[in-house]
Amino acid sequence: MEDRSGIFAGDDPFALASAWMDEARISEPADPDAVALASVDSTGMPNVRMVLLRGLESDAFVFYTNYESAKGREIIASGKAAFVLHWKSLMRQIRVRGVAERERGVLADSYYESRPLGSRIGAWASAQSQPLKSKAALAAAVAREGVRHGADPKRPPFWGGFRIRPLEIEFWANGKYRLHDRFRWSRAGIDEEWTVRRLSP
């Protein structure tokens, strides 16, 4: 295996990802934890959208959403997802592909409770990804759910987290003349050992 040094050094891809994210929180002007999340529908047609990464665990990445949204339904059906973190300020990105599982326990409750009240009510009011008659209809739904749930709404049963356990993680850094540095960590299963290879730019 080629020696990896500098920003690519280390034997744990999650620790490396955490270090890069810490740098991005300092240098990136907005949403350093924004990821472009990809899924596929039942026909194999891909979908991608921006979401906020809300957890980087010792072996997984976590974000939260409505399970009945397009992304929620697609990820539940396939059990897989991919995303990319891109930081223009650092000229780096991290690409992840892996298996996905729902997080519906204490961690999801805790994150939901940390959100502003309006966002918690909004999670109850919005039938995410479904056709909406008008913005006024959404405002009315928010008002109804606000009255119904009061100042301390509980997490909706259809809302929670996804934990993505990677089978591949690629670390990319910009290089002069587009001769970028790329290292791909891969494994056959989530309990298997990682293999690291340098990739051509």
Active site (catalytic) residues: 178
Which residues face 171 on adjacent strands? 94, 183
Tokens, residue 91: 């000229």
Nearest to 39 by CA among 160, 158, 164: 164
* Residue linked to tokens 């957890």: 55
**How would you classify the pairing of strands 159-173 and 46-56?**
unpaired
From start to end of the chain, where are the E strands? 34-40, 46-56, 61-66, 80-87, 92-103, 159-173, 181-186, 195-199
Structure token pair of residue 64: 């939260």
User: CA nearest 107: which of 70, 36, 55?
Assistant: 55
The one-letter amino acid code at 189 reads: G
Q: Which residues 6+ apart lie within 8 Å of 3 measured at CB?
A: none
Longest dimension (CA), the chain: 61
